[in-house]
Amino acid sequence: MQTGIFTSNQALILESGEILEQFTLAFTTYGELNEDQSNVIWAVHALTGDAQVADWWSGLVGEKAIYNFSEHFIICANLLGSGYGSSNALSENPTTGTPYFYSFPTLSTRDLAHSLEMLRQHLKIEHIHTLIGGSLGGQVALEWAFILGKKLQHAIIIASTAKTSPWVIGFNEAQRMAIAADSTWGQNHQDAGKKGLEAARAVAMLSYRNPSDINTKQQEKEEKIDGFLAASYLRYQGAKLANRFQAFSYWTLTKAMDSHDIGRGRGGVEAALNTIQARLLAVGVNSDLLFQAEEARFLSQAVPAGNYAEIVSTAGHDAFLIEFAQLSKLIERFYHQ
């Protein structure tokens, strides 16, 4: 494994009209790039992920996984706006010499894809065998697949969408309302909104899991009137995230998720998807209540070389981070079709 920092001194013009005069992206690579660059696997992480893809996707990326270090050159970059080494709201604004805080610009999934494209060009990678991502990572990967054209051979989009639904935007707004309700939000401090982030994560966890999954795993074994397992589970998950992530990045990246619309300025969703040249595998999850399986199925039908596969799981949206055995089989089948 190798880590690196890409610093771009070329301005990134954002969809909002704002400009990032310079930015950094932290990235990690595994394995060795072969001579003809035919073994590049580029992974895009989800909302609170990082560049260490072999850690959070260990069932797909690893010595004995489908994407192994002896055969593949695997790369993952921390998304712009995230807090794991890439430019974000706590980074120094080169114009003022102080952190951006609340003045950090609004980012779209298209902006995130363009920043990854700048990294690809910097690394002189001319061809990507497979671009893979789930949830927000799938949205960014889909945008980048549109940009890459013939430079991309395969796109694997898991538990994701062509355009963010009002349902998902509503969940994200409820989470940002929780952050904004924290009395520290608005202060120029790295821990601003931390307690609000705990509440936001609790809301998110309810959308990431299927009701049947929570009902089974958090079922009480004794009669009680307070101190329920489901309540302690959500509090634990909220505190766990708040101790490793920051509210500013959560705000930035949920806003980016809301913005996602592959068809914006391109004649609509179907017209944009119809121009994607890579073979595409859209993977839905049968129990996903957030990014529903029908949305993945639509992707497979609208892309000329589109295919659909489905994970069967009680875990809901989070199945893309859990059901490694199923996912590996679906990917293998896709490659051999």
81-112 residues labelled b (16+ CB within 10 A) or e (exposed): bbbbbbbbbbbebeeeeebbbeebbbbbbbbb
- Per annotation, catalytic residue among 287, 288, 300, 313: 288
H or E element in which residue 43 lies: strand 40-44
Active site residue 16: no
H or E element in which residue 13 lies: strand 12-13
- Per annotation, catalytic residue among 135, 160, 287, 300: 135
Active site residue 58: no
Q: Count CA atoms closer than 13 A to 284's CA, side-chain side.
A: 22
- Per annotation, catalytic residue among 86, 259, 317, 318: 317
Active site residue 135: yes
> DSSP letter string over 265-298?
TTT-HHHHHTT--SEEEEEEETT-SSS-HHHHHH
Give catalytic residues, as residue numbers: 135, 288, 317
